[in-house]
Amino acid sequence: MSERLFLLDASAFWRLGSPALDPERRSEVAGWISRGIVAASTPLLLEVWSGKADPLADPKALPLLWISERAERRSAELQQQMRSARQHLGVPPLDYMIAAIAEDHSATILHYDSDFELLVTHTDLAADTEPLAPLGSIP
């Protein structure tokens, strides 16, 4: 059985170095990164490089999961499903794209963002999600 592939969201990326992150969890994720099973995507790069602060690590050093035509269409479908469920307000457009890319590559979304849990609850998203830490535990 092959290892799971993780697609990193900016919400988790920015918290990887937080002193509030459990050291065992930090070590676990660092191991995944060193084995090459944590990937970035164009939306992650756009979010990270649009921030006010420079990142502590370069997300371009991670494997990159590309955006396919299917993922582009799928992100719009997910947004429409959220709209139909009246849950779309406040969900950033890039989160739909990240979810669709993860689904397209059979990756688990590694995040620290309740929007991905909303997507799982209110859409037919076929990607797993995994919070970096319990939501609300890291500033």
pLDDT digits (tens, 9 = 90+) for 70-104: 999 999 999 999 999 999 898 999 999 999 999 99
Cα gap 23→30, rounded to integer Å: 10
Structure tokens at 57: 């690590």
Residue 138 confidence (pLDDT) = 96
Mark out the alpha helices in 1-139 (DSSP H runs).
10-13, 23-34, 42-49, 69-84, 93-104, 114-122
pLDDT-derived band at 65, boundaries 50, 70, 90? very high
Chain length of the chain: 139
DSSP 17: T
pLDDT digits (tens, 9 = 90+) for 7-53: 999 999 999 999 999 999 999 999 999 999 999 999 999 988 887 67
- Give strand pairing partners of 39: 7
pLDDT-derived band at 106, boundaries 50, 70, 90? very high
Residue 52 confidence (pLDDT) = 67
**Among the listed residues 69, 48, 121, the one whose alpha carbon sits nearest the alpha carbon of residue 91:** 121
pLDDT digits (tens, 9 = 90+) for 122-133: 999 999 999 999
Structure tokens at 84: 């139909």
Is residue 139 within 8 Å of residue 19, measured between CB atoms?
no
Domains in the chain: boundaries: 6-131
User: What is the dotted CATH code of the domain comprising 6-131?
Assistant: 3.40.50.1010
Report yes or no on whether pTM surpasses 0.85: yes
Cα gap 48→29, rounded to integer Å: 18
